[in-house]
Amino acid sequence: MLSAIVFDLDGVVYLGAQGIPGVASEIERLQRTVRVLFLTNNATKSRADYARHLAKFGIMARPDDVMTASFGCASYILENYGRGKRVYVVGEQGLRDELEGEAMAEIMEDGAEFVVCGLDRQVTYGKLDAALRNLNAGATFILANSDPTIPREFGVSPGSGAIAASLICASGRQPDVVIGKPSVYLIKKLLQMHGIKAREAVFVGDRLDIDIRMANKAGMKSVLVLTGVAKKGDAKRAPKKDKPWKIIKSAAEIGNALGI
Ligand SMILES: [Mg+2]
């Protein structure tokens, strides 16, 4: 029985500002028969931001249908430590919004119990300095995702992992937890929130060592699309843990591949 299809976003649903042809209409069709969910390592936007963002591509989604690393950081703190914790953030507004909303975190400069690091396109020496002070004082180090780069229309730009690398270098500490894929934290949380069993769900992604690895580890069926990072030959060469269950050209073909 198939209960849900979970889509990665960049490289699967869209490439930067460009929707991948046929995917929005395929999702609309699938939404009549199965639960359609979305999961991204991005931590710069909140789930509500993503619901609005997807609407621009003609995709209807509620904030609860979207799992992001920003929400994941907040829910991780809430589940393991409780609400109202003192947090220092290297990251953007969407991450702050989820931390303050979901975990009721108090965002502060000094005396933080947690340093949460995500992609921050306005990162400064002062922010890294404040993060380091808190880490050196013993704050728990939470990393949204370890992606070294983010895809751009032309090439790549530094990602959350690259910013964290400077904190790892300066503090001599590794993150206490990494929330994003290939960790299974986000997908487990999303399926749990919707009451869906992993074996009844399919994950559709474009990266073998991130998306497919996570899906296989979580016990889901993994489908690789060739509209993003991975090419067909990469899947052949991949180790067993990164081998997809199916390979399709584009997410526009997912219903056909699953017989729905
Ligand atoms: Mg992707």
Domain that holds residue 186: 4-41+181-258
Residues 6+ apart with CB under 8 A from 237: none
Number of independent structural domains in the chain: 2
Number of residues that make up the chain: 260
Domain assignment of residue 31, yes or no? yes
Per-residue pLDDT tens over the stretch 34-53:
999 999 999 999 999 999 99
For ligand 1, the distance from its centroid to the CA atom of residue 139, given in whole angstroms, is 31
User: Looking at 10, 65, 97, 211, which residue is catalytic?
Assistant: 10
Whole-number mean pLDDT of the chain? Answer: 97
Catalytic: 8? yes
- Among 67, 98, 6, 61, CA closest to 190: 67
Strand partners of residue 31: none
Per-residue pLDDT tens over the stretch 153-199:
778 899 999 999 999 999 999 999 999 999 999 999 999 999 999 99
pLDDT value, residue 75? 98
pLDDT bracket for residue 151 (50, 70, 90):
confident
For ligand 1, the distance from its centroid to the CA atom of residue 41, given in whole angstroms, is 8
Same domain, 170 and 220: no
Residue 15 DSSP SS3: strand
Same domain, 169 and 185: no
Tell me the two tokens of residue 121. Answer: 């396109």
Catalytic: 209? no
Domain assignment of residue 186, yes or no? yes
Same domain, 110 and 171: yes
pLDDT bracket for residue 150 (50, 70, 90):
confident
Question: In CATH, what number is assigned to the domain containing residue 168?
Answer: 3.40.50.1000
Which residue among 178, 196, 213 closes a domain?
A: 178
Same domain, 164 and 195: no
For ligand 1, the distance from its centroid to the CA atom of residue 234, given in whole angstroms, is 15
Tell which wins on pLDDT, 90 or 152: 90
Q: What is the pTM of this model?
A: 0.95
- Among 125, 111, 118, 112, CA closest to 90: 118
Which residue among 122, 157, 178 closes a domain?
A: 178
Tell which wins on pLDDT, 229 or 84: 84
pLDDT bracket for residue 61 (50, 70, 90):
very high
For ligand 1, the distance from its centroid to the CA atom of residue 247, given in whole angstroms, is 15
Same domain, 90 and 156: yes
For ligand 1, the distance from its centroid to the CA atom of residue 116, given in whole angstroms, is 22
Residue 110 has pLDDT above 80, yes or no: yes
Domain assignment of residue 49, yes or no? no
For ligand 1, the distance from its centroid to the CA atom of residue 94, given in whole angstroms, is 19
Domain assignment of residue 58, yes or no? no
Domain assignment of residue 131, yes or no? yes
Domain assignment of residue 229, yes or no? yes
Residue type, 255: G
Which residue among 145, 178, 211 closes a domain?
A: 178
Nearest-angstrom CA–CA distance, 142 and 186:
14
Using only C-alpha atoms, the chain has a radius of gyration, in whole angstroms, of 18
pLDDT value, residue 152? 76
- CA–CA distances in Å: residue 161 to residues 71, 108, 180, 236: 18, 22, 11, 27
For ligand 1, the distance from its centroid to the CA atom of residue 148, given in whole angstroms, is 13
Same domain, 151 and 162: yes
Domain assignment of residue 67, yes or no? no
Same domain, 35 and 22: yes
Mean pLDDT of 13-32: 96
Domain assignment of residue 51, yes or no? no
